[in-house]
């Protein structure tokens, strides 16, 4: 998911890491400092259109390395979230570094997530701009509920519950969609989907060039 500027309000602005507030946190997450940049898959590739597999082994060096690589890949692509199939790995896992509408930064990863949305009677949908790292150069308004809760596990198999409001709720929904083989294009009308694909064709090379510049600045 592509990054968006947040609105600030006078609230506790401490960073939430894995859902918990911390008093200090670096601009570049530790995972991103360790990871290697991977290629981001593009809409039309088969791995993006099929449901991902459950993660069954926790606490492995391979899983930790994948999360590190996903963080730095998300950072280089100027993203707010990234699912494993966006780096070609069909596992139920995503990472995020995303602001909510209160200006609070949320950072973490979640494995095998289940998404809870408000009941239809109390649900409020908002139409807001949404982009995707796998649809480079495009962005469209997509209706999403303004609250969401993701329940899953961390890389060591510990349960995690991540609550999102506003733009972060949108991020949780966007990334969970990826894990069932959907992109935000699947939520658009036929006309808007064609518009987004036209935007991508016009802008993708500029996006790729910016990613290469940012990767080079990190020495990756």
Q: Could you report the per-residue pLDDT of 10-61, keeping only the tens digit for each?
A: 688 899 999 999 999 999 999 999 999 999 999 999 999 999 999 999 999 9
Give 91-145 pLDDT, tens digit per residue.
999 999 999 988 999 999 999 999 999 988 778 889 999 999 999 999 999 999 9
Question: Do residues 100 and 93 make contact, with C-beta atoms less than 8 angstroms apart?
Answer: no
Residue positions annotated with a catalytic role: 175
Confidence of residue 205 (pLDDT cuts 50, 70, 90): very high
| Residue 8 reports pLDDT greater than 60 | no
Distance, C-alpha 79 to centroid of its chain: 7
Average pLDDT (167-196) is 97
Confidence of residue 174 (pLDDT cuts 50, 70, 90): very high
Alpha helices in 80-217 (DSSP H): 166-179, 190-217
- Tell me the C-alpha distance between 100 and 164, whole Å: 7
Question: Do residues 41 and 88 make contact, with C-beta atoms less than 8 angstroms apart?
Answer: yes
* Residue 124 φ/ψ, nearest 5 degrees: -120, 120
Average pLDDT (200-211) is 97
* Residue 15 φ/ψ, nearest 5 degrees: -65, 140
Cα angle vertex 111, ends 131, 79, to 5°?
Answer: 25
- The predicted structure's pLDDT at residue 201: 97
Work out the mean pLDDT of the chain and round it to a whole number.
94
- The predicted structure's pLDDT at residue 1: 75
| Residue 7 reports pLDDT greater than 80 | no
Residue with tokens 């083989």: 181
Hey, CA dihedral for 14, 16, 22, 26, is it positive or negative?
A: negative
């Amino acid at each position: 998911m592509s990054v968006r500027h947040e609105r600030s309000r006078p609230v506790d602005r401490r960073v939430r890491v894995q859902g918990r507030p911390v008093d200090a946190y670096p601009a570049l997450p530790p995972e991103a400092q360790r990871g290697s940049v991977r290629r981001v898959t593009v809409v039309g590739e088969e791995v993006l259109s099929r449901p991902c597999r459950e993660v069954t082994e926790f606490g492995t060096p391979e899983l930790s390395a994948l999360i590190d690589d996903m963080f730095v890949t998300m950072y280089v692509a100027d993203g707010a979230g990234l699912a494993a199939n966006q780096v070609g790995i069909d596992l139920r896992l995503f990472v995020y570094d995303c602001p909510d509408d209160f200006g609070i930064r949320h950072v973490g990863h979640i494995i095998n997530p289940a998404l809870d949305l408000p009941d239809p009677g109390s649900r409020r949908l908002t139409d807001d701009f949404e982009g995707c790292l796998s649809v480079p150069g495009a962005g469209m308004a997509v209706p999403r509920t303004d609250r969401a809760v993701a329940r899953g596990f961390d890389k060591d198999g510990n349960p995690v519950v991540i609550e999102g409001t506003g733009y972060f709720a949108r991020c949780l929904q966007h990334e969970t969609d990826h894990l069932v083989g959907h992109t935000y294009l699947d939520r658009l009308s036929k006309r808007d989907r064609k518009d987004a694909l036209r935007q991508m064709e016009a802008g993708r090379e500029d996006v790729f060039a910016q990613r290469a510049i940012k990767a080079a600045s990190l020495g990756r």
